[in-house]
Structure 1
Amino acid sequence: MSAPLLCQGRVVIVTGAGRGLGRAHALAYAVEGASVVVNDLGVGLDGTPGPDSPARQVVDEIRAAGGEAVAHGGDIATAEGAASLIRAALETYGRLDTLVNNAGFLRDRMLVSLDEDDWDAVTRVHLKGHFLPLKHAAAHWRAEAKAGRTPSARVVNTSSGAGLLGSVGQGNYSAAKAGIIALTLVAAAELGRYGVQVNAVAPAARTRMTERIFADTMAAPGTGFDTMAPENVSPLVVWLGSPASTGVTGRVFATEGGRITVMEGWRPGPSADKGARWTPSEAGETTLKLLADAEDPGPVYGAGE
């Protein structure tokens, strides 16, 4: 007897699902029985419009395999686009169970060359593009809970190692991805009462955004296992978006190839309390002593290269 499907009967939204990680997630959810709303604006790496949206192609793939899917081409970093995304799920399938926030793009520059437009564009899509769908989905789930229909809802946000450690040449992207982690923690705390669990993943995979970085990282020798394939990330994302993950919320997971790591964020380290105001010299001397007992921070991506 085959194992039951993890997401049978669930309705899942995946943003940025036309290519890369989002596409892999959408296909994986469909395999596990979900009906999928495939969102993709169809833009280039720099966020400018492309000739056509790939969302329809992913929908066709899912339907050809016997699954259920519908395309959504709205801009989820606008209030109307995000609202229409939630409506697409509710009007097509009558419910919404899981939201996977994944959409984003890059405009990499060193800080001294990073202009305001590059900052605004990247933080808009990554951070605002997480907030607005989450806000509208949460409003729906809160209404359901208040009506006595408490959902088993899930949100999976997409951060990055750049958001955890920083990344040289990616001040805008790193700041947005760090913001997503904080947003995840707040949402998990606020929405748990309504039956909503919120987690984040920090994936490493070969996509349009990273293909140059991981161009030479292919199959592990002798295994045929492509460690940087985006499909490697999707099993964890599917599990987090399913009822099987009950009780897991407010967590951040790094995932790459066959590795899953629970990330443990800012926690109090060495501390000193004088019980009164320090002088600047005392504060400095004490801080140096505390640093000597503290763990070294992880290296920033790209440092020294």
Structure 2
Amino acid sequence: MITTSPEIILNNGIRMPALGLGVYRSSPEETRSAVLMALQKGYRLIDTAAAYGNEREVGEALRRSGLHRGEVFVTTKLWVTDYGYRNALRAFEQSRRRLRLDYVDLYLLHWPVASDLAATVASYRAAETLLAEGRVRAIGVSNHAPEQLAHLMARTKIVPSVNQVELHPFFVQRDVRAFDARHGIVTQSWSPIGGVDRYAAESPRAARNLLAHPVIRDLAQRHGKTPAQVVLRWHLEHGLAVIPKSVHAARIAENFEVFDFTLTPQEVAALDALDTGVRGGPDPHWL
């Protein structure tokens, strides 16, 4: 059994684990225990955000784990109320202090602000400053559509290393993935097993239970795996980074046991065909 995640090399040469733990919607107390459990199971990427309200607990778990700082890749994100150059620098320092880290591995803009793209650009320029100063090792964005990324890239110097978006077999984001690939940007999947469709789908047309789909259940039986493991393997087969969220020890362990099997190209295509084109989470053009 492989006990560490494969790594993806970002466009600035930094290595990032392909699979990590997300802590969106995890309460502070749940976050502390979930991160510690994940690190004990072999996870080496933890994804949080200022808006999640649990950066402090992520940092506490890192210290309790006994792992060397360089062994764990930590991502956090800038929230939109802190956009603007000076505000972003200040907000980053607040995140860093809550985490109690000397540096952050990856710093993302959480959303594009369609009504104030100038503030989005100014915030990314602040991230470029943080990168130049060594306070972060890589920078990127979250929830950016191709045209928003193109607008940002035309007005800044450094191509984002990562674009983190809602992505799962019911919403495969072909246009986003293609744009990212053309520009050397790693696409990272949030809600990778379709959880957003169950707990917070904004569209009444969103499919509700990816893991109950007969195609996925058949593949799980064929490989002796769970439906969630099959879906996570689909992400990895596509070269995506992936950050499943859980606070339960058994599920945290299960989600990491996806490196001992593969899907055939035909099986990947069968999951691709489940695409509905309907997102479960917010549309980045609306914020």
State TM-score, norm by structure 1.
Answer: 0.38
Which protein shows a greater Rg? 1
State TM-score, norm by structure 2.
Answer: 0.40
Q: Which has the higher contact order (CA 8 A, sep 6+)?
A: 2
